[in-house]
Chains A and B, each alone.
Chain A
Amino acid sequence: MNETKALKTSQTAEVWRRLKRNRAAILGGVIVLLFVLIAILAPYISPYPPNEGDLMKRLKPPSKEHLLGTDPLGRDLLSRVIYGARISLQIQVVAVSIAMVIGTVLGMVGGYFGGKFDHLIMRLMDILLAFPGIFLAISIIAVLGSGLTNLMLAAGIYSIPQFARIVRGSVISLKEKEFIEAARAVGENDFNILFRYLLPNSMAPIIVQTTLRMATVLLTASGLSFLGLGVQPPTAEWGAMLSNARAYLITAPHVATVPGLAIMLVVMGFNLFGDGLRDSLDPRLKD
């Protein structure tokens, strides 16, 4: 009786295989990886301190000394971009973590218990979603004040409803499945069913949402900093750098192009990777 021979390879191997075949996803993945590495290694790879400027060398175009040129205050743009990656990653990780934890818990509780809990939670989410995009983040900043911490909070809160909705959807469809009934038949309590049965089986959409949200948060945070509502000078953040570059668009375009390109590339990277993840985790795409 040879039924023990594995009928398929493990699921992780399958997902990885599908992911590898998706060129766009690989590209996205490489960009994300580079971004994270640069952010982590910033103090070691940055040629100059990001906030020290030599006013004699302002607005210089790219040269051997300053690979990407200098900004209006004489600070090295390459260093500022590198440290900007660090700040951005920090904001993304904190904001998305907040949203993921709170959103997942709300989604699980609402989806599993249903009834009044669910209605209450969903109405709350609707309120958050009723604000057009960035305005929600702006309103939160308006209440809390600007600054790095509040920026992370605002971006986090702004992302909660998406997580809550997908997790809730996943829990609602999973809780009718037979392995949940079997779990109850064996004496499992609700807490275990939520965290050992429902949550682990909902990880795929959560992972995809996390990756895609990193892109949105980056855009939101940059946007807010661009408007002056996020990080405060002299912090090297890409959106803030863009804002400073506005006055010099004609005379020294590189000051705007550099952070602008950085934002674009990283957002694209996360989006491509997230899409690729979603395609390879989606069981309907059986080959």
Chain B
Amino acid sequence: MGTLLSVKNLRTQFYSAGRTVKALDGVSFDIEEGSAFGLVGETGCGKSVTALSILRLIPYPPGKIVEGEIRFSGRNLLDLSEEEMRSVRGKEISMIFQEPMTSLNPVFRIGDQIIEVITLHQKLDRSQAFEKTIEMLERVHIPEARRVAKQFPHQLSGGMRQRVMIAMELSCHPHLLIADEPTTALDVTIQAQILRLIKEMRREFHTSILLITHDLGVIAELCDWVAVMYAGSIVEQASVEEIFENPRHPYTQGLWGAIPLMDREKDTLAVIPGTVPDLSQPPEGCKFNPRCAYRFDPCDRAIPPLFQPSPEHLVSCYLYGGGKNHE
């Protein structure tokens, strides 16, 4: 199993009204073939920007990828022309969005939209594309696929629309599926169905997954490897077992501590004090340091490098090297 996607030192910035917002400040991670990689963090930490940067969908103006490398299938995606990129999107890397309500074109039938994607990337004639469409709709367990193919998006429920999106995005058998909060806008029962579907599709199509979410339960359900993002940087990366049993970064520990558990007796929720920094004026050094209970000398001087306190575990925190050890 090799490395499918390798992101190195990705920096994406947004310019507005004289300020430069550093949305991504040196993000690096690798996704292995056949694995499911989770990117977790609170709203505004840069998870969606990472996904959009990989597909080069950051609108300019106001945003721009200013540095970094995104190696995929032996090429640096940042070097490709727009036309070459268009043949990557939907065919080699696909993305499903958070709001299935609004991801489909309201004026075309479901079937026609999937046919459109298929004919965009594959040399099939219309009737072949239609058969493939029905096949995909059936594989995502949409009943009466031929009838549904003739319907318009507003005639389907949210869960159905998300299934249609998944069918559409997988129709060209991409190597990587990016799922940006795929279940956030859905009811809890439907969430479970969609997650099961994604797992099944991953097995059947051998597609790797980059799952973006703020929901730790979804991460636990689906992912092999997890990266925690804060204010535009990855602060911790580990296998899913490691990260749940042994969260090391103070931010991650804070996140885990904030999950309300049914068997706890507390009235108030644990909260990480302070607020997320303004990304146009980030703090010096480790971006979490103003809120960190364990802050000490080196923390506000330079961003901590990645330390490896145990196999399958990387942390960007001076507690694990380069300073006093708090263990």
- Residue B121 lies at the interface, judged by CB distance under 8 Å to chain A: yes
Knowing A178-B99, A186-B90 are in contact, say whether A4-B156 is a contact too (CB < 8 A).
yes
Knowing A4-B160, A11-B154 are in contact, say whether A200-B121 is a contact too (CB < 8 A).
no
Smallest Cβ distance from A119 to chain B, in angstroms? Answer: 15
Residue from A4, A7, A183, A203 in contact with B142 in the complex, judged by beta carbons closer than 8 Å: A4
Does the CB pair A184–B89 fall under 8 Å? yes
- Residue B102 lies at the interface, judged by CB distance under 8 Å to chain A: yes
- Residue A251 lies at the interface, judged by CB distance under 8 Å to chain B: no
Given the complex of chains A and B, what is the CA–CA distance between A165 and B152 in angstroms?
Answer: 29
Does the CB pair A196–B108 fall under 8 Å? yes
Smallest Cβ distance from A197 to chain B, in angstroms? Answer: 5
Residue from B99, B121, B147, B152 in contact with A187 in the complex, judged by beta carbons closer than 8 Å: B121
Knowing A3-B157, A186-B117, A187-B91 are in contact, say whether A179-B86 is a contact too (CB < 8 A).
no
- Residue B104 lies at the interface, judged by CB distance under 8 Å to chain A: yes
For B106, the chain A residues whose CB sits under 8 A away are 179, 201
Q: Mark B130-173, 1 if CB is under 8 A from A, else 0.
A: 00000000000111100110011011110110000100110000
Residue of B nearest to A185 (CB): B95
Given the complex of chains A and B, what is the CA–CA distance between A239 and B181 in angstroms?
Answer: 63
Q: Mark B97-123, 1 if CB is under 8 A from A, else 0.
A: 101001111111000000011001100
- Residue A143 lies at the interface, judged by CB distance under 8 Å to chain B: no
Residue from B104, B120, B155, B160 in contact with A8 in the complex, judged by beta carbons closer than 8 Å: B155
- Residue B231 lies at the interface, judged by CB distance under 8 Å to chain A: no
CB proximity to B under 8 Å, residues A1-48: 1, 3-4, 6-8, 10-11
Given the complex of chains A and B, what is the CA–CA distance between A177 and B160 in angstroms?
Answer: 20
Q: Give the interface size bracket for B toward A.
A: 35 or more
Does the CB pair B121–A197 fall under 8 Å? no
For B55, the chain A residues whose CB sits under 8 A away are 185
Tally of contacts, chain A with chain B, CB under 8 A: 83
- Residue B124 lies at the interface, judged by CB distance under 8 Å to chain A: no
For B57, the chain A residues whose CB sits under 8 A away are 181, 184-185
Which of B95, B107, B160 lies at the interface centre, i.e. has the most chain A CB atoms within 10 A of its CB?
Answer: B107
For B144, the chain A residues whose CB sits under 8 A away are 4
Smallest Cβ distance from A269 to chain B, in angstroms? Answer: 28
Does the CB pair B154–A187 fall under 8 Å? no
Given the complex of chains A and B, what is the CA–CA distance between A213 and B91 in angstroms?
Answer: 44
- Residue B87 lies at the interface, judged by CB distance under 8 Å to chain A: yes
Smallest Cβ distance from B133 to chain A, in angstroms? Answer: 14
Q: Mark A166-179, 1 if CB is under 8 A from B, else 0.
A: 00000000000111
Does the CB pair B107–A186 fall under 8 Å? no
CB proximity to A under 8 Å, residues B35-93: 55, 57, 86-91
Given the complex of chains A and B, what is the CA–CA distance between A188 and B89 in angstroms?
Answer: 9
- Residue B213 lies at the interface, judged by CB distance under 8 Å to chain A: no
Given the complex of chains A and B, what is the CA–CA distance between A182 and B103 in angstroms?
Answer: 6
Given the complex of chains A and B, what is the CA–CA distance between A3 and B140 in angstroms?
Answer: 14
Does the CB pair A4–B148 fall under 8 Å? yes
Does the CB pair A3–B160 fall under 8 Å? yes
- Residue A63 lies at the interface, judged by CB distance under 8 Å to chain B: no
Does the CB pair B143–A182 fall under 8 Å? no
For B87, the chain A residues whose CB sits under 8 A away are 187
Ranked nearest first, the 7 interchain pairs of A and B with the lowest CB-CB distance are A186-B90, A187-B90, A187-B89, A182-B103, A178-B102, A200-B107, A185-B95
Supplied contacts A1-B143, A179-B105, 13 more A-B pairs, CB within 8 Å: A1-B141, A3-B156, A4-B143, A4-B144, A4-B148, A7-B157, A8-B154, A179-B104, A183-B105, A185-B89, A187-B87, A187-B89, A200-B108
Q: Can you sample 24 A-B contacts with CB below 8 Å?
A: A4-B142, A4-B148, A4-B156, A6-B151, A10-B155, A11-B152, A11-B154, A178-B102, A179-B102, A179-B103, A179-B104, A179-B105, A181-B97, A182-B103, A185-B55, A185-B94, A185-B97, A187-B91, A187-B121, A188-B120, A189-B86, A196-B105, A200-B108, A201-B107
